């Protein structure tokens, strides 16, 4: 998966986020920040600080949405795997 594919996945994630019902404001904010963090990391793959934030935050968000929002979880997993494959 390329940088463009990740950006497409992020667009899909934004669309899912817009349709999301029943999530608390804090969770929605964390997801929005995560999208921005992924974009920054893709634009600057050498940033170790940014990488650490993603490594910590992405799995936690995936776990939170696993049951209630399977499409969002699938997209988050895809982004995680792609970033891992890119060495990020």
Angle at 8 between CA 66 and CA 60, to 5 degrees: 25
Q: What is the pLDDT of residues 20-64, one digit of tens each?
A: 777 778 777 878 887 888 888 888 878 788 778 777 877 887 787
Domain boundaries, the chain: 3-85
Q: What is the pLDDT of residues 5-30, one digit of tens each?
A: 888 888 888 888 787 777 778 777 87
């Amino acid at each position: 998966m390329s940088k463009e594919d990740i950006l497409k996945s992020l667009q899909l994630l934004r669309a899912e986020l817009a349709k999301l019902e029943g999530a608390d404001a804090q969770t929605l904010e964390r997801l929005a920040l995560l999208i921005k963090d992924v974009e920054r990391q893709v634009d600057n793959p050498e940033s170790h600080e940014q990488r650490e934030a993603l490594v910590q935050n992405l799995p936690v968000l995936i776990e939170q949405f696993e049951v209630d929002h399977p499409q969002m979880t699938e997209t988050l997993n895809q982004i995680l795997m792609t970033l891992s494959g890119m060495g990020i």
